[in-house]
Each structure stands twice: as structure tokens, then as C-alpha cells.
Amino acid sequence: MPRSFSAWPALVLQNLGPAVRFDKKNENLPLNLRAGAAYRFKACGHENLIALDITEERGQGALLAAGGETRLLEPLALRLGFSTRNEAGIEITAGFGYQFKSESIDYAFVPMGGIGNAHRISITLRWG
């Protein structure tokens, strides 16, 4: 993790192109405009990160997601976020990550409205 303060803005336009023909029917690609930013900083002696993501899909209103991460201990990251992307309403997510030398394990709890809750686990291996 970098030790300096840093910010990253982004703007993305996805699925820009002509209609796609499928089974004798033309369908528009789901045009999607996404803007986001992240800011890494140090506060109270801990590394922290905040991020914001706004998505505008064709035919839908804007959707918002935001989250934060803090590293209370160097290899352990605690995370909290919220999103309006779920049709059931605003969802609050939580999780943690643990980073070894070149490996990391991440866990997230994500409520999925009427279908229940999701537990996401990922393992990352870095080399090179």
C-alpha cells in the first residue's frame, strides 16, 4: 500500500456502439456512464481509503455507491460501504481483508434483498 496521500478520479462510458441483432431482433447495448473517485489518506496513525461511484444507465436513474477502508493493523483492512444499486433499496455492506506478502484474502457481507444475504470470499495471488 502506498504511504503517500493520493486521489484517483475516473470517468467511463461503457457499451457505446450500434444495436446488436439477436434472434431477428435489434437490441441496444446497455449504455452506461460511470464516474468515480477514490482518496487514500492517513489519519489517527492509520491508512484509510474512501471511494465514491455514480452510475447512470440508459433508461434508469443514477445509482450511488460509496465505501471506506481503514487499516487498524498493517495487514488487516476493515471495510464498510453502501449502495443504491439493489432493487430492494439501500444496502449496507461490510467486510475485511488480510494481506500477506504476495497473497490476500478478502471477505464481504452483502445483503441481497428478498433473496437473502451473500457472503463473498476472494483469494488473490500476486506475482511478478
- Burial pattern 70-104, b for ≥16 Cβ within 10 A else e, equals bbeeeeebebebebbebeeeebebebebebeeeeb
* Greater model confidence, 91 or 80: 80
Q: What is the mean pLDDT of residues 3-30?
A: 83
User: Alpha-carbon dihedral of residues 46, 47, 52, 53, nearest 10 degrees?
Assistant: -140
The full length of the chain comes to 128
Cα–chain center distance at 71: 18
User: What's the pLDDT band for 8 if we cut at 50, 70, 90?
Assistant: confident
Q: What is the pLDDT of residues 50-85, one digit of tens each?
A: 999 999 987 788 889 999 999 988 889 999 999 887
- Spatial separation of the C-alpha atoms in residues 102 and 75, rounded to whole Å: 11
Phi, psi of 115 (to 5 degrees): -90, 0
Model confidence pLDDT, tens digit, residues 18-31: 888 888 888 888 88
Contact yes or no for 16/30 (Cβ under 8 A):
no
DSSP 114: G
Q: Provide the 3-class DSSP secondary structure of residue 115.
A: helix
